[in-house]
Chains A and B, each alone.
Chain A
């Protein structure tokens, strides 16, 4: 890359809107030069339900990021998520024309096209077509087939798709603010870029992004994306459960969750209570610590177990040599690591964005993994364009969008 490039990632999350301005250095590192954050309203389960209010929140975060980074934000990489997004693996097969036996770029594109030639619901659109492996005349382990001789090119792809109208709605909300969307990225895919390193991807790893409204996950095997998806469950559900179970307002429940919440059971003595002070409009209340932890435990365990079931169904779980990496705001909950280890029976680590320089305090927090991941994703695509061929590690789609 000739010069440093400035890239902006915007994640419209259920609990916060996060804007990260990053500078892609020529030595492939990313320097975060500004972060804007605003509490998110009008978003449920990762999807915008109130455009006006949400627009204001995005505006707020963008302005903050502009002020901090001294960059005028125009083009952004937008993260999208939602329980409607699903994925599958597909193999494309392409026979070279008779007069030619050297594989060219167009064959690579053709094989990708064939893999996508699979019927999904008509309202769905493809978001990512991520390359897993190439095969040339059934020979495995081909990294770059262009220039090789062969008659038949095959490739496995991991394809992520979602409901077109919902993705469009998110884009529209941003466009109303006169921001240009450079590309849209599936949130867990973005987060995985910073959370997992290449070695983890190679020996098999699962990233779980425990967000506010959704829990996204992405599993890598042999350096390629094997499985991904979103559960419409997140930290919001914990708060909601607490609010209903302890009969306290949402705001109090949220605060209680962050300050005292823990998923570990049986580590508090009977009678251990947390006193909520009375304020106007709220009579004070004493909360039994065990009750608090039980409610959280039930919800988090259930979420992880649902996830486990999905992964077992896909036969992914046994192949994760590097174990599981947790990220996202809800992974800050005390005891999540141990609970996840118990549920999955695999080593679990908490993480934060790696390989970065600059505003350290801002991105040490797993809350920002996705937004920073968007910048990282941009970097990866730049490198691809620079290399001059599509569909290396990040094949992505051009049509059927926006």
Chain B
């Protein structure tokens, strides 16, 4: 298991959210704007101008130049290194730190691994929420992002990675670029909000930080994340439906591979047991039999009539990489080595089935084979079941077969 200091029962965990670099700051501003409660905000940037415009109560200027990292991760790293002591100071006493950054640029890619490391030294659990650049941002940024992602993975306990390309399909082709960025930021915010409420929410059924860690701790993990809200008559089903359609759910395909799934339900105090049980029945239908479901339920008067469902899970492989960089084969050993190294650091018993697989080279090959397979399957259209919208889904091996085959196979028609 993952080592982390348990917050004493009497006080709520001290949570801080760091917005790092340009993209991270945008997310942070948004969260501040939405009055997310019970957390501390820290803005970190190399760009002085950007930083001074931030409304975050705590700001950290990275480096002394104040000009931004210019898209160079090394500059980003150096800047963070220069300001290491200030960073440490600003993070002291946190139990849980969310580090938001957009990878691909200088500050985010260079600074995030180091800041994760510092945050860990402060004794906090570090959850990195990072977004990968759009494909159109160029190959160089992609490479920088990949390298950074790997480094962060070695530092932070959890990495939730959002691929911007996945979300692009949600945006109308005619929509201006800033809307596309705003949308991905929005989804990141959503993820943070629900994670915070999962960890801090006073639950009827609690999902603890440790459970979260178990579920997400996969090397080379891709996070499945879905969130949906509804206040209609059949709100439980509607909210679940929306959650399953989130862009990071991959239309539920990867659900079949996930081994642990967190389902968190939040609603007003009038939430009923049948509602929850109905919802869980629906979820059961989408996952394989071997899946361990972690159910969390919290009642919150502020939710009013609304009910929200959050689904979090991770698959232990990276579907996006093999196509882009076949020559990486040798490098691939790194995450495995890192995994074993980290295992040793953990104090508790390593989850046997989770780690056995990772430390064996055959498992790596198997994972790569699985990855290849998945690449063919990837597609990110919003789910559309057409005339089967209202009928019972035909689900085989975790795939909803009512969704057109050509969509599930990711075929693009002219």
Residues of A within 8 A of B (CB): 44-45, 49, 83, 231-233, 236-237, 239-241, 243-246, 250, 288, 291, 294-295, 298-299, 301-302, 306
Q: Is the CB of B402 within 8 A of A291?
A: no
Residues of B contacting A241 with CB < 8 Å? 386, 404-406
- For A299, the closest partner residue in chain B by CB is B405
Within 8 A of A (CB), among B364-414: 384-388, 391-392, 394, 396, 401-402, 404-407, 409, 411, 413-414
Give A269 Cβ to nearest chain B Cβ, in Å: 15
A-B contact sample (7 more), CB < 8 A, given A243-B386, A301-B405, A306-B401: A45-B394, A231-B394, A237-B401, A237-B402, A241-B386, A245-B404, A295-B405
Residues of B within 8 A of A (CB): 384-388, 391-392, 394, 396, 401-402, 404-407, 409, 411, 413-414
Residues of B contacting A291 with CB < 8 Å? 413-414
Describe A's contact surface by its main secondary structure.
helix
Q: Is the CB of B387 within 8 A of A250?
A: yes
Please name 25 pairs of A and B residues whose Cβ atoms are closer than 8 Å in the assembled complex, sorted by A: A45-B388, A45-B392, A83-B394, A231-B396, A233-B401, A237-B401, A237-B404, A240-B386, A240-B388, A240-B402, A241-B386, A243-B386, A244-B407, A245-B406, A250-B386, A288-B414, A291-B414, A298-B405, A298-B409, A299-B404, A299-B405, A299-B406, A302-B401, A302-B405, A306-B396
> What is the bound-complex CA distance between A232 and B392, given in angstroms?
10
A44 contact from B391, B401, B407, B409, Cβ within 8 A:
B391
Residues of B contacting A239 with CB < 8 Å? 387
Given A45-B392, A49-B391, A306-B396, A240–B404 Cβ distance below 8 Å?
Answer: yes
> What is the bound-complex CA distance between A299 and B402, given in angstroms?
10
> What is the bound-complex CA distance between A246 and B391, given in angstroms?
22
B406 contact from A45, A49, A295, Cβ within 8 A:
A295
> What is the bound-complex CA distance between A147 and B396, given in angstroms?
47
> What is the bound-complex CA distance between A93 and B326, given in angstroms?
59
Residues of B contacting A233 with CB < 8 Å? 394, 401
> What is the bound-complex CA distance between A237 and B394, given in angstroms?
11
Q: Is the CB of B404 within 8 A of A295?
A: yes
Q: Is the CB of B404 within 8 A of A44?
A: no
> What is the bound-complex CA distance between A379 and B384, given in angstroms?
45
> What is the bound-complex CA distance between A132 and B402, given in angstroms?
35
Residues of B contacting A83 with CB < 8 Å? 394
- For A298, the closest partner residue in chain B by CB is B405
Residues of A contacting B409 with CB < 8 Å? 298
Closest 3 CB pairs of A and B: A232-B394, A241-B404, A298-B405
- For B391, the closest partner residue in chain A by CB is A44
A243 contact from B387, B401, B405, B407, Cβ within 8 A:
B387
Residues of B contacting A49 with CB < 8 Å? 391
Residue among B392, B407, B409 with the highest chain A CB neighbour number at 10 A: B392
Residues of B contacting A243 with CB < 8 Å? 386-387
> What is the bound-complex CA distance between A233 and B404, given in angstroms?
11
> What is the bound-complex CA distance between A231 and B394, given in angstroms?
8
Give B374 Cβ to nearest chain A Cβ, in Å: 17
Give A296 Cβ to nearest chain B Cβ, in Å: 9
Give A100 Cβ to nearest chain B Cβ, in Å: 46
- For A82, the closest partner residue in chain B by CB is B392
- For A240, the closest partner residue in chain B by CB is B386
Give A12 Cβ to nearest chain B Cβ, in Å: 16
Give B334 Cβ to nearest chain A Cβ, in Å: 36
A45 contact from B384, B391, B407, B413, Cβ within 8 A:
B391
Residues of A contacting B407 with CB < 8 Å? 244-245
Residues of A contacting B388 with CB < 8 Å? 44-45, 236-237, 240
> What is the bound-complex CA distance between A291 and B413, given in angstroms?
7
Given A231-B394, A240-B388, A298–B411 Cβ distance below 8 Å?
Answer: yes
Residues of B contacting A245 with CB < 8 Å? 404, 406-407, 413
Give A317 Cβ to nearest chain B Cβ, in Å: 18
Residues of B contacting A299 with CB < 8 Å? 404-406
Given A232-B401, A237-B402, A244–B391 Cβ distance below 8 Å?
Answer: no
> What is the bound-complex CA distance between A294 and B409, given in angstroms?
12
Given A44-B391, A240-B387, A245-B406, A294–B411 Cβ distance below 8 Å?
Answer: yes
Given A245-B413, A288-B414, A298–B396 Cβ distance below 8 Å?
Answer: no
